[in-house]
Amino acid sequence: MPEVHFAGPEGRLEGRYHPNPNDAAPIALVLHPHPQFGGTMNNKVIYNIYYALHELGFSVLRFNFRGVGRSQGVFDAGIGELSDAASALDYLQEMNPNARQCWVAGFSFGAWISMQLLMRRPEISGFVSVSPPANMYDFSFLAPCPSSGLIINGDADRVAPAEDVEKLVAKLQAQKGITITHEMIEKANHFYDKSMDEMIGTLSDYVRIRVDALDGGGAGR
């Protein structure tokens, strides 16, 4: 799991990159929770998502947003962090020019950023949004959502309440041409303290099936 540094909009960004030896392996970018509330690329949810995707055959990158760890710059309320994510995806694609699929995953604040990145990068073929804070941020930009994907949350989440996530899911599922899969983990809080294995298992099952379907032409965007 080599440490990497790459150019961001406001200076150097710090990351961890785990490549797959297969030149055509799919790639995935994983985005961490809110920098002002202790969110880093070493958050346990991010760490587990990162390794789950690597075990599924992805070349995976996670990184610290500006001002976190050894990443340069200062927090920019999501605007600069979206630019950071775009730079990270550029770097990941440069490292893997023959990748057959491109995915993005995010947790909490990172889920909000990841969904905005999805709107700006048509090459993203799939997404995983874990505990999206639909009560805190406006997700109305997903009109329409350009790709099918998975939304996971816990029914005991007090940070991103389940009812708000369900409203977001309902709006997205009403859109035509995509399939939004929603999985709610029973008794799981925002950080999946006692439900990490179940959450990661749910994520892995979905991604494995969807990657195979995209490879075989059995699923669209």
Residue 221, pLDDT > 60, answer no
Measured CA to CA in angstroms, residue 176 lies from 9, 34, 70, 145, 147 at distances of 35, 31, 42, 9, 11
Rounded-to-integer distance, Cα 133 and Cα 141, Å: 14
Domain boundaries, the chain: 3-216
Residue 60, pLDDT > 70, answer yes
| pTM for the full predicted model | 0.97
Q: What integer pLDDT is reported at residue 1 of this predicted model?
A: 58
Decide: 87 and 11 in contact? Cβ < 8 Å: no
Residue 200, pLDDT > 70, answer yes
Q: Which CATH architecture has domain 3-216?
A: 3-Layer(aba) Sandwich (3.40)
